[in-house]
Each structure stands twice: as structure tokens, then as C-alpha cells.
Amino acid sequence: MPQPFATLEQAQQLGLLPEEFESIKTILGRTPNFTEMSIYSVMWSEHCSYKNSIAYLKTLPRESEKMLAKAGEENAGLIDIGNNLGCAFKIESHNHPSAIEPYQGAATGVGGINRDIFTMGARPIAQLNSLRFGKLEDERTRWIIRGVVKGIGDYGNAFGVPTVGGEVFFDDCYNVNPLVNAMSVGIVEKGKTVSAIAYGEGNPVFIVGSRTGKDGIHGATFASGDITEDSANDLPSVQVGDPFQEKLLLEATLEAIETGVIVGMQDMGAAGITCSTSEMSAKGNSGMIIHLDKVPTRQANMKDWEILLSESQERMLIVVKKGEEAPLLSVFEKWDLQCEQIGTVTDEPLLKYYMHGELVAEVPAESLVLGGGAPIYKREFKEPTYLEKIKAFQPEKVEEPTDLKAVMEHLIGHPNLCSKRWVYEQYDSMVGTVNMSTNFPTDAAIVNVKGTDSALALTVDCNSRYIFADPVKGTEIAVAEAARNIVCSGGVPQAITNCLNFGNPYNPEVYWQFVGAIEGMGNACRKFNTPVTGGNVSFYNQSSYEGPVFPTPTIGMLGLLENKEHAQTLSFQQPGDTIYIIGTSSNDLGSSQYLYSFHGEKFSSCPEFNLDEEFEFQQNISKLLRKYSIESCHDVSDGGLFISLIESCLENELGFSIETNKNFRVDAFLFGEKQSRAIISVSPEESELVEATLKKFEQPFERLGVVTDKSIVINHTDYGNILDFKNTFQESLGKLLS
């Protein structure tokens, strides 16, 4: 080839290790040129290859009789939800781009995850997100959150898919590196899905959608490094999105699938044309000849490697049956979208890229991809030194508050616990008319599956403070809480997708957190029979001057209500109803928001948790909700019992009168975050039967008190009116952001 050979220095500048450079030379039987080196640099980056995580990811439970696609082998997970329908769902991160350019970083994250869904032939019907930001006192944090929320809202609203749920969490560890995890969920008829595969010698290869520009070049490499003071110079790595173009692409893609001429299709996400051509070819044990000069571009004189690596948005790669191109061209012409043939499929498993007739790169497809020739590592890990502080924590030395009202006001107004109304009011939650939770608050979002009796229950969950304290137990809790939210909403957990956000994997203490989190996730998913259908690993979430973020393995869980009438609200319904807490309480204060922010205790143990106890608890809650007319059901989690009670009061502006268990500290009973608990409210007529049933189940419970008209009474002390608490709860975040 006329192009000069790449050098070791160039390889290292592109993020490749010296031993990886040698491996590439062995694979090719020669020294690669710069274009080939660029190809390997993105495909072997952490973002694309999962080289530092895949060995452990393979230990997770990945099979279920309800799975319609093998875990990780398609653009998204696919679960049988009955009625001849499948549900495609996935969560992914867009952390680094959002740290540098919040609006486009978040917007293109939404666009990318939705393309993963409709590329499989599923129509997206719901979105969720999990967001982590630094301290709100910092102007930069406020700039990031405003940009991220507006980016998610503008893209999702224009694209026409409702945002039905999510979570927002604040901590100083996210000051430099926010986390923006986006989840999309879609519905498809069984048998009408499309695979991300290429095969059939001579079958034409088309690029469809937007033109290719210089945005997003080396975005995968950018996402595989720490945030530094110079990261702003990497701004060209952030893509630019167009939700209106994506809407056209959605409709055109689904219509094109109906023609029956498509062999395979894949979204162009990280690494752009490079990724889609290599992964589709490797999956089909085939190759491709690609003419890069035929790719429609936005800028003149783009170089071959720029075209290959661009991560411009709203693009897809489609392989079509030879001789049957006309229906595809007709569909995309109808929707006024680019549809250009750029190559053909070959039987030889090589990727050959040409530019104006010149062969600029020739690489074996399988050598590039995860599960093929991409490297696999297990890094050194060791227990972090900060655990000594956690082990030294003495809960009995925490001073009990003399003013409970002050604690209540602190927690109700804390940005981690108060209403996220400022955020979700910027999202369209009703477009598509499938969201059943808007005026019927539930622990998990309930989404109608139109034309059936069924509904989906969707949630994203992770308390990263717990994982920081104990990665194994903390991640078990993350899975358990997701399942608990679905069960308390009337659903049955089906499967999960995950977004694994950690610091630098070459840091042994960070890698120890990652290994522990995978162990905990596997334990819990096996217990709840919720296989891992796929997801995303995001390492390098740290800065050179503030260190790694909390380990944050976000769990996106899919649940199913076979009958939508099983949906259960969390809201109290009328005064006089009896309030119960299901589960066992304790003096546990570990890692609670109360301990962390009110007392300033940053190093404490993970909350008490037992996986077997949680499983039995959830089984009993599910049976109880099916057997009786329970007025409300709400899990106890962040902020403890008190916050759960307040949240149950808000919708109907009711109050409660309860007595705490005298066997425990009042603050631990009210504000501790011991797991495997929920509050239910029951009409007086049902109370006796419910208690008898719980005793039959051998399920621990306590009668707490009753629902009141508006007053908040604890241990015979009146703490005020629910309207006062509601105002603080709903307005605090908006005030902090303004």
C-alpha cells in the first residue's frame, strides 16, 4: 500500500498499548498503516471492545426461556412479553460527551439508544434515564444539569417518545465527571426483528440517514480515557444530533423492514462505519468491500480515516438482498433520506476499504470485534484503603437528634430525596399515550402495551453510596430495589440491562469495585431470575484531580403485568386506612442519606441486606397484592421510612399518624435505609384478613398507624400539615438550581 506504516508512538497516541501494537502486526503479518491503526484503536478501545470487563461480564446469568435474542449479540436485549410480542430494551452511557458539551452529549445519547431499539425492528415506546451530578452549589454543575436535562428533553420530545421514569442523584464525586445513562424500550412482533449481520456474497451494502461529518471522530477513544483539564480540546469528539432526522429514520426503517429485502442492519454508534461493517461481517463470518468515497459527506475532502471513524448521528448500515434494492430505495426516497450503496458483502472474511479506487485498509473483520480478536484482560485489583474508615464506623456513636423536625425538613428538601419535578416537567411524558403512571403514581413506571391486557413495568435503580461501601452487597441491593419497585407496582421482574459506570480500570482499587459489583449483580440476578440481556460498560469516569466517581452499576429492569388491572399505586387513598410496614426494621443507619448529609458521616457500612430475605419478602408482597384490594404499596429505600410515608401522602394530600417501634432508635426507625421493606395501606375492612395472610406467609410486619386527613403525627407529636411538606418537597430542587 502506498500509505506509510504506522509507528509505535502513533499507536500509543491513539490509546493502544505496545503489546497491542505487536498483536496487530502479527494479525496482519505486516505493520499497519495509519488508517488501519486508527481502525484498531477505536475497535480495541475500552468503549468498543470491553477488553477490561468482558471476562467478568461473561460470568453473569445471560439465559432465560423468555429471551428472544442471545445476550449481547444484538443491538438490544429482547424479551418475550406474550401476545406474540417482544420487548427490546437497553441502557447506555454518554458520560464523557456530557461532561464536555452537556446539551449535545445528552441529546445524542438519547438518539443513539433509540436507534439501537428500532434497528432491531422495534418501535420505541418509552425512555428512562439515570443522571448523576456534582454539588449544586457549583455553577459548572448547574450548567451541566441544565444542558443535560434540556438535551434529553429536546431530543426525546421532538423524536416523539415519552420519558416515563428515571433517577437523579447528586454527590461531590461527580463534580467533574457526570453520569448520563439513557434507556429505551420498544415493542416488536415476534418474528419481525432484524439482526445486525452481514452475509451473502454480492449483497449490496447501503448507508442510510444523515450525511457523514467530522463530528464524533475518535469518540470511542475519547470515552476510553480520564477527564483531564485538556478534555475541552476534545470537543470535536462530541456528536451533534437531529431528532427530526431520527424520527424520519425511524419511520423509514420500520417501513423498509416490511419490504422483506433486508438481510441485516446496524446503527452507527461508537466508531461509526468501522464498527458497523466489522461487527456485522464478523457475525456473518463474511467480509465487505467498502468504497469510502461513495459515503455522502457534509464536508469536502474528508480523509478516509475521518469517514471511517466519524460518529455522526442518525445513520444506519443496511445489507440488502442482491437484485432487490428497489423497494429499499423507494422507501428512503419517500422519506427524503439519503440511501447510498457504498459496498458489497464478500465471502472472504476481510474488510477492504477503498478511497477513489485505492485500497487504504485491509483487515480481518473478526480481529476487530468483541468475542473475536479484540484483546481480553483481567487487571490487578486490591481492597481500597478507604474501607478501613468504613470498618471503623461505630453507629452507636451517632448522636440521636433532639429536633426531629429539623431532620425531616433537611431530608425533604435534599436534592437527592426531594421531587425531581424541575427535571421531569421538561420531558414529554404523555406523547404516545402509553404512560399509565402520570396521574397514578407507582414505584416503577407502568407503560401500556396497546391492544393487549398487558403493561410493562420499568425502572432504573442504583444507590452508588451503597456500592462504594460494599460492591457485592451494594449491587445486590441495586438489583433487588429494581425488582422491589416492579413488584410493589404490581409487576413481575423479567430481565435487566445494565450501565456499569466506574473509574479507571488500571487503578486496582477501582477494578476491585468492578469485580465485586459483577459478583453482586450475578448473585441477585440469579436469585430473581432476571438475566442480563446486555448493556454498557463505562470505565474512566474520573478526573486527574478529583479521582474516580462512586462505582455506579445502574440497573435498568423490565417487568411485566400480564393484566394491567394489577397496577398498584403508591399513594394513600383515604383517611382511616391502616398503615403497615412489611419487613423487619433495625437500628441500621449505614450509608443512609440521613447519616451522610445530616451528620456528615461519609464512611459507613452498607445497609443491612439478605438476598434470601429480600426474595421471600417480594414473593409475599406479590401474592398479597394479587389476593387483596390493597389501597397503596410503596417500597422503603432512599431516605428511609419517613420519606416513603411522605411520598405516599403527596398525590392526594393526605397525612399519617404513626408510632415508631420502641425497640429501635427513633432516627434509625424513621430515616435508616434497611432493605427488604415496604409500606402498604389497607381499608379497615381488609385489615384483619391482610394480617392473617401475612402471618400465614410468616412474613414479618408491623401496624404503624393510620392515614389522616392532612396532619403528620409521629409518636403523638404533630409535625405540621402535609401541604407544608409538599411545598418543600416539590420546590427545593428548582430553588437550588435558580
Judged against a pLDDT cut of 90, whether residue 231 lies above it is answered with no
Please give the helix or strand (H or E) that residue 682 lies within, else none.
strand 678-682
Give the tens place of pLDDT for each residue, 418-452: 999 999 999 988 887 789 998 899 999 999 999 99
Site of grid cell 395472610: 693
Count of alpha carbons within 13 angstroms of residue 626, beta-carbon side: 12
Q: Band the pLDDT of 87: cuts 50, 70, 90.
A: very high
Residue 238 has pLDDT above 70, yes or no: no
**Active-site residue (options: 94, 96, 291, 414):** 94
> Residue 153 corresponds to which amino acid?
G
Check pLDDT > 60 for residue 133: yes
Picking from 550, 545, 546, the residue whose alpha carbon sits closest to that of residue 513 is 550
* Contact indicator for 610, 689 with CB cutoff of 8 Å: no
The Cα 655–Cα 244 span in angstroms is: 45
User: How far, in Å, CA of 339 to CA of 518, rounded?
Assistant: 42
Q: What is the pLDDT of residues 613-656, one digit of tens each?
A: 999 999 999 999 999 899 999 999 999 999 999 999 999 999 99
Q: Is 94 one of the catalytic residues?
A: yes
Active site residue 414: no
588 versus 47: the higher-pLDDT residue is 588
For residue 550, what is its C-alpha cell?
462512586
Question: Alpha-carbon Rg of the chain, whole angstroms?
Answer: 26
Which secondary structure element, helix H or strand E, spans residue 279, and what is its range? helix 272-283
| Total-model pTM | 0.95
Which pLDDT band, with edges at 50, 70 and 90, does 227 fall under? low
Angstrom distance (rounded) from CA 520 to CA 59: 11
Is residue 610 predicted with pLDDT exceeding 90?
Answer: yes
> Quick one: average pLDDT of 10-23?
93
Active-site hit among 47, 96, 566, 634: 47
The Cα-based distances of 693 to 618, 625, 633, 675 in angstroms read 15, 11, 16, 22
pLDDT higher than 70, residue 235: no
Over 60: is that where the pLDDT of 220 sits?
no
Which cell goes with 578? 391502616
pLDDT at 251: 96
At 669, which amino acid appears? F
The average pLDDT across 682-692 equals 96
Q: Which band of pLDDT confidence, cut at 50, 70 and 90, is reported for residue 487?
A: very high
pLDDT at 216: 63
pLDDT digits (tens, 9 = 90+) for 240-297: 778 999 999 999 999 999 999 999 999 987 789 999 999 999 999 999 999 999 999 9
DSSP character at residue 293: G
354-363, 429-438, 660-669: which has the minimum mean pLDDT?
A: 429-438
Would the pLDDT of 352 be above 70?
A: yes
Bigger pLDDT: 391 vs 242: 391
In percent, how much of the chain has pLDDT > 90?
88
Distance, CA of 729 to CA of 708 (rounded, Å) = 19
| Residue 587 Cα distances to 465, 667, 673, angstroms | 19, 8, 10
CA distances, 672 to each of 222, 282, 608, 707 (Å): 40, 51, 10, 22
- pLDDT(237) > 60: no
Q: Where are the alpha helices (DSSP H) in 381-427?
A: 387-391, 404-412, 421-424
CA distances from 423 to 147, 148, 155, 343 (A): 11, 10, 14, 45
3-class SS string, 512-550: HHHHHHHHHHHHHHHHHCCCEEEEEEECCCEECCCEECC
How far is residue 673's CA from residue 608's CA, in Å, rounded to a whole number?
A: 8
Angle of helix 139-159 relative to helix 243-258, nearest 10 degrees, comes to 40
Across residues 143-152, what is the average pLDDT? 96
Whole-angstrom CA distances from 420 to 112, 166, 169, 367, 423 are: 24, 10, 10, 46, 5
Q: Is the pLDDT of residue 230 over 60?
A: no
Whether 173 shows a pLDDT value over 70: the answer reads yes
Q: What is the pLDDT of residue 358?
A: 96
Name the band, by pLDDT with cuts 50, 70 and 90, for residue 222: very low
Pairing of strands 711-714, 655-658: parallel
Q: What number of other Cβ atoms are within 10 A of residue 164's Cβ?
A: 28
For the cut 80, the answer to whether the pLDDT of residue 611 exceeds it is: yes
Q: Return the pLDDT at 385.
A: 97
What per-residue confidence (pLDDT) applies to 223? 47
CA torsion 140→141→144→149, rounded to 10°? -150
Please report, rounded to a whole number, the percentage of residues in the chain having pLDDT higher than 70.
Answer: 97
Provide the pLDDT for residue 228: 55
Residues 601 and 631: their CA atoms lie apart, in Å, by: 37
Q: b/e map of 529-555 (b: 16 or more CB within 10 Å)?
A: bbbbbbbbbbbbbbbeeebbbbbbbbb
- Whole-number pLDDT of residue 95: 94
